[in-house]
Amino acid sequence: MISPKETSQEEKQVGYYGDIGAKSHVTAHEGHHLTTEEVTQEGEGILLTISTKDGTDTTGLKLAPDGRTVLIPQPSDDPNDPLNCPWWKKHAVLLTTSILAGNGDFSLCLGFPAVLPQALHWDKSYNSMNFTTNLAVIMVGVGGVLAIPPSYFWGRAPVVFWAVLASVFFTLGICLTDNFEAFYALRALQGATLTVCQTTALCYIKDMFFLHEHARKIGIWLFFFYVTPYIGPMLGYFMISGLDSQWRPLYWLALASTCFDLVLVVLFLDETWYRRDVPLEEQPPRGSRWQRVIGIWQIRLHRGYFVGALPAFGRFWAVLIKPLMLPILVYFCLYFMWATGVNITAAVLLGTPEDVGGYGFSPKASGFIYFAPAIGVTLGEALGHWLNDWNAARYTRRHDGLFKAEARLPVTYLGTIIMTFKHHLHWLGIAFGWGIYIFGAMLSSVAITTYALECYPQASGEVSAFINFMRVMGGFAVGYFQQPWGVSVGYGASFGTQAAVIVAAGGILIFIYFYEERLRVKGRPLRFPGST
């Protein structure tokens, strides 16, 4: 039996106990008692709600405004603790990082419809011109991984600020260059820098929000993240159609959106790294916000307050060898690779004439088809915003206030877009199937990302980086082989094989559901200094 009053200092660093912050919560009074039982979650006890039954006294325990939900983790009494930030600031930072995450794919995917006119401009084949997109996509995965260690040894805010600033100049170079090799290289650098908030945003969510808030905040972040890869090509096709196949204005629009990102960073972003294991009287002065955003404050206080560079990179290996990470990542890759891969190759597939195996869509028609996945993402977020929390609350009620990470798993769906491409169906079948698939992908991704975070709460950055890397690596691979594969064996056969791969991914999910707790316990908890 574990009492909140008996929480060790090591457990306080992890953050699994009741909340004592000064924002958006109430203090449990003498009349409250709770039934407590140790719940194994990465070796920690997770008590999410309390009851009035006889049990351990909870005097001083901080709860959510409903008077029942235990806030996890506990903030300090320091007003500078990110968990104590006012509601508006938390959500300003959340929306800023979410918009930045979305703009990474928006600016990148905005160039997808330009592949055909660019191939004519530089006298390249459609497939070889598409390789510039493939390289940019793989750099999204690489850049997302490389952004995480500096967020621990330098800070969240400066990594985001300098990456966004660099992406402004790389995008400007794309707009101005007329050299194919320079364009190829700049697209890769654009992908590497635009991706920063596709991974660091989960660090911000973990830093600022309590456990019971995670699913909804992750849903907001992933909505921007998942809808923009379809909004970008949609606008791109409409622009190509209305501008007589001129492709350069697409990148000027990407530059404008990246500059908007920079404005948001300057106005709203802040540093959220906070050492809750450091006593209040020993916390360093926070200094001015602009010094925290550009990284001067972090450099001055690096020794002793931030993680060293080598340990920051070493965290990757410590997370990767956890028994649950491999099945989670394989599932994510096998299921989501087709969403990314189809989006990469859609410009070629939809625009290729029918007599050579494509659909012969005009740029405007191709733009309209992208409404389907965009609507799918929107509906997935609208439902998942409530469904994930309802499912977790239902589990908690049925288990006397105790919560386990596997409560997130039932909210998963398998997509069917590849089955609608089979046998060369009518475009209505394509649109409906694509929308259904992305709807399921949105629901599933929120659930599996929240699940992974709650399994390894100290590794928010690493979890986000690995998941993003597997998503784009799978899509990158598909971008290289899908077009020649479809031409060789027929699109019906190739998409049918992809359907079997998705079914296999569902089998991995079933394995995770039945064996996740014992694998999580066997892997033992992560212990990273300075993380909560």
Q: pLDDT, tens digit, for every residue of 281-294?
A: 888 998 899 999 99
Give me the amino acid identity at 306: F
How high is the pLDDT of residue 277? Answer: 84
Neighbouring-strand partners of residue 44 = 41
CA–CA separation, 15 and 62 (whole Å): 13
Separation CA 271–CA 286 (nearest Å): 9
- Alpha-carbon distance of 288 to 290, in angstroms, equals 6
Q: Which residues of 272-291 are buried (b: 16+ CB within 10 A; e: fewer)?
A: bbbbbbeeeeebeebeeeeb
| Distance from C-alpha of 110 to C-alpha of 248, rounded to nearest angstrom | 11
- Give the model's pLDDT for residue 454: 82
DSSP string, 280-293: GGGPPP---HHHHH
User: pLDDT at residue 25 above 50?
Assistant: no
> Taking residues 463-491, what's their average pLDDT?
78
pLDDT band at 310 (very low <50, low <70, confident <90, very high): very high
What is residue 22's predicted lDDT score, i.e. its pLDDT? 34
Please say if the pLDDT value at position 200 is more than 90.
Answer: yes
At residue 334, what is the residue type? Answer: L
Report which of residues 386 and 382 the model is more confident about. 382
Q: How many domains does the chain have?
A: 1
Rama region for 38: left / alpha / beta (φ>0; ψ in -120 to 50; rest):
beta
Q: Is residue 212 part of a domain?
A: yes
The pLDDT of 252-270, averaged and rounded, is: 96
- Where residue 158 falls among pLDDT bands split at 50, 70, 90? very high
pLDDT at 436 over 80: no
Do the domain assignments include residue 326? Answer: yes
pLDDT band at 400 (very low <50, low <70, confident <90, very high): low
Binned at pLDDT 50, 70 and 90, residue 41 comes out as: very low
pLDDT (average), residues 119-127? 85
The mean pLDDT value for 264-281 works out to 92
The SS3 call for residue 69 is: strand
Residue 188 forms part of a structural domain = yes
Secondary structure letter of residue 26 according to DSSP: E
The per-residue pLDDT for 361 is 76
Instruction: Let me know if residue 147 belongs to a domain.
Output: yes
| Residue closest to 347 by CA, chosen among 167, 130, 88, 79 | 130
| Confidence check: pLDDT of 278 > 80 | yes
What is the maximum span of the chain, computed from C-alpha positions, in angstroms?
A: 78
Q: Check pLDDT > 90 for residue 426.
A: no
Mean pLDDT across 152-173 = 96
The structure's pTM equals: 0.81
The confidence score (pLDDT) of residue 161 equals: 98
Lowest-confidence segment of 6-15, 197-206, 494-503 by average pLDDT: 6-15
pLDDT band at 479 (very low <50, low <70, confident <90, very high): low
- 3-state SS assignment for residue 62: strand
Number of continuous H segments (helices) and E segments (strands) in the chain: 21, 4
Question: Which of 219, 241, 239 has its CA nearest to residue 231?
Answer: 239
Kindly report the average pLDDT of the chain as a whole number: 78
pLDDT of residue 2: 30
218 part of a folded domain: yes
**Percentage above 90 pLDDT, the chain:** 30
pLDDT of 185 reads: 94
In-domain check, residue 399: yes
Q: Is the pLDDT of residue 17 over 50?
A: no
Domain assignment present for residue 5? The answer is no
Average pLDDT over residues 385-404: 65
Six token digits for residue 40: 């194994």
The 10s digit of each residue's pLDDT in 203-218 is 999 999 998 888 889 9
pLDDT score at 490: 66
Share of the chain above pLDDT 70, in %: 74
Question: How confident is residue 202, by pLDDT bands cut at 50, 70 and 90?
Answer: very high
> Domain of 497: which CATH number?
1.20.1250.20
Quote the domain boundaries for residue 405: 82-523
The answer as to whether 60 is a domain residue is no
Q: Own/partner pairs for 205-209, CB < 8 Å, 24+ apart?
A: 205/94, 205/460, 206/453, 206/457, 206/460, 207/82, 207/83, 207/156, 207/272, 207/273, 207/274, 207/460, 208/82, 208/83, 208/85, 208/90, 208/93, 208/94, 208/272, 209/83, 209/90, 209/94
- Using 50, 70 and 90 to split pLDDT, how confident is the model at 42? very low
Greater confidence (482 vs 451) lies with 451
Is the pLDDT reported for residue 13 higher than 60? Answer: no
Give the C-alpha separation, 133 to 139, whole Å: 10
CB 289 within 8 A of CB 270: yes
